[in-house]
Amino acid sequence: MTSSPLTRTPEGAARNAVEVRMEGLSRHYGAVVALDRLDLTLQPGELVALLGPSGCGKTTTLRLLAGLEDADTGHITVGGKDITRLSAAKRDMGMVFQAYSLFPHMTVRQNVAFGLRLRRVGAAQRDKRALEMLDLVGLSTQADRYPHQISGGQQQRVALARALAIEPQVLLLDEPLSALDAKVRAQLRDEIRRIQLEVGITTLFVTHDQEEALAIADRVGVMREGRIEQLAPPTEVYSRPATSFVAEFVGLSNRLTGEVRGGEVTVRGRTLPLVESNVPDGQVVALVRPEAVTLASHTAPEPGPLVGTVIAVTFLGATSRVTVDLGDITILAQLSTSDAAALPAGSRVALTIRPDPVLVSADAASAGPAAEEEA
């Protein structure tokens, strides 16, 4: 195994990174369909995050790619080679598990060097490389500790170092941050992204936390019931969701009844542009983001479609979420905390809706309170 420099130039990254192509993957467990003819291609050096509720098939996809499970149908091609029939041990991928994957009877150093030992790399060379990787993740001082002596966040860093030590073609991360504290999670998330960019390796990242997915991915794949509903860069998934499931899973949405006419929708007296231009005229449910709703204090008592009373203010730190009762429905608005401070519960407010393009869906039956994100 040739030793390559750790820090690669962008061209170097593009040269060495591989494309991962999954076509027509299906997997079922008895009667349950976990994956339904899934197609997914990862560009060389890109980080794709698979996001979705539990049971949507994101972990199954990852495990199929890793070779830990067999696909019923379909092909997987890495760097041009068909690896569908290859055993997991021969696939040359590095994987970071959610928890517990470090070997407890080996030190950190030995854990990281394990893959190299299997490849019969000499002891001195192994050690050097292991320390390099530990340096990369910032843990070279812990090299001779045992897994039970370091924290959860540190363990995951070691797991990352171990996965990268063998210079795999693909990096797989199975909800690596889910078992960690919130603060550690945010730090480590950025670390992982930094390292991934530095090494330039094609990466698949599975998570149920949308904040994680949006923060670090080049593209996000929102999955549901074995299919990808939308695969697009984070900003697009957020502001131009392809389906109502995506709109409701990623971020919050207010569901408001409205009427489409001539390529625009009218919601509570305001006319808003549409995400898709060719929606037929008729009654629809429009999905409006809370941050698109602005509030102003309104002391005059005349009612209107966009006049209401503040019911509750939820403090979230830098921003606050304000629940407003409009008489027939409640609506959520997201404001900066300083703005929300001026509107305590009970105040009368007037709403405006920013003219961002909105997604509409035809099921007029379920208008009402704002949809919550999936737990």
Partner 1 sequence: MAVATTTETGARPSWSGRRPSIPAWTGTVPFLAYVVVFLLWPTGIVVVDSLKHPNGNWALSNITELGNPLVRGYFIGSFKLCLLSSALGAVLGAILAYAVASGNPDGVVRRLYLASSGVLAQFGGVTLAFAFLVLIGPVGLLFHASWYFEFPWGIGLIYTYFEIPLMVLVFLPAIDGLKVQWREASENLGASAWQYWRYVGAPLLAPAFLGGALLLFANALSAFATIQAWENQIAYTVPQQISTALSSEVGLSNVNVADLLALGMVIMVAIVMTGYALLQRRAARWLR
Partner 2 sequence: MAAVTALGETPAAESASHPRGMQSRRRRRLNLFRYVVFTVFGLFFVLPLLAMARFSLEGAKLGTWSLTAWRQIASYQGTGIPPLLSAIEITLELAVITCVVTLALLVPTMIWIRLRVQWLARTMEFLCLLPLTIPAIVLVVGLGRIYNRIQHYSLSALMLFWVYVILALPYAYRALAAGLSAIDVTTLSEAARSLGASWFTVIVRVIAPNMRQAILNALLLTFALVLGEFTIAYLLLYTNLQVELYSISRNTPNAGVLFSTSFAALLFAFALLLILSYAGRRRRGRG
* Cβ at position 67, least distance to partner 2 in Å: 7
Give 72 or 372: the residue with its C-beta nearer to partner 2.
72
Please give the full DSSP string across 2-34, using - where no structure is assigned.
Answer: ----SSPPHHHHHHH---EEEEEEEEEETTEEE
Q: Which of 9, 15, 70, 118 binds partner 2 (CB under 8 A)?
A: 70
Task: Give 175-212 as a 3 state SS string.
Answer: CCCCCCCHHHHHHHHHHHHHHHHHHCCEEEEEECCHHH
119 binds, among partner 2, partner 1, none (CB under 5 to 8 A by kind): partner 1
66 binds, among partner 1, partner 2, none (CB under 5 to 8 A by kind): partner 1
d(CA 288, CA 284): 13
Sequence-separated (6 or more) residues with CB below 8 Å from residue 322? 295, 310, 312, 313, 314, 332, 333, 334, 335, 340, 343
- Site size toward partner 1 (CB under 8 A) is 30
d(CA 158, CA 334): 39
Please give the full DSSP string across 35-87, using - where no structure is assigned.
Answer: EEEEEEEEPTT-EEEEE-STTSSHHHHHHHHHTSS--SEEEEEETTEE-TTS-
Residue with the two structure tokens 């050097």: 128
Sequence-separated (6 or more) residues with CB below 8 Å from residue 140? 131, 134
70 binds, among partner 1, partner 2, none (CB under 5 to 8 A by kind): partner 2
Q: Using DSSP bridges, classify how beta strands 319-325 and 227-232 pair: parallel, antiparallel or unpaired.
A: unpaired
- Contacting partner 2 within 73-92 (CB under 8 A): 73, 75, 81-88, 90, 92
Stretch in the footprint of partner 1 (CB under 8 A) among 15-23, 66-74, 77-85, 220-228: 66-74
90 binds partner 1 (CB under 8 A): yes
> Pattern of binders to partner 2 over 3-32, x per CB under 8 A?
------------------------x-----
Give 39 or 82: the residue with its C-beta nearer to partner 2.
82
Stretch in the footprint of partner 1 (CB under 8 A) among 6-14, 49-57, 89-97, 365-373: 89-97
> Pattern of binders to partner 1 over 166-205, x per CB under 8 A?
x---------------------------------------
**Which helix H or strand E contains 93, and what residues bound it?**
strand 93-96
Evaluate whether 56 touches 230 at the Cβ level (below 8 Å).
no
69 binds, among partner 2, partner 1, none (CB under 5 to 8 A by kind): partner 2
d(CA 227, CA 247): 16
120 binds partner 2 (CB under 8 A): no
160, two tokens: 């990352």
> Pattern of binders to partner 1 over 108-147, x per CB under 8 A?
------xx-xxx----------------------------
Give 15 or 119: the residue with its C-beta nearer to partner 1.
119
Which residues of the chain form contacts with partner 2 (CB under 8 A)?
A: 27, 67-73, 75, 81-88, 90, 92
**List of residues contacting partner 1 (CB under 8 A):** 66-68, 87-95, 97, 99-105, 114-115, 117-119, 148, 159, 162-163, 166
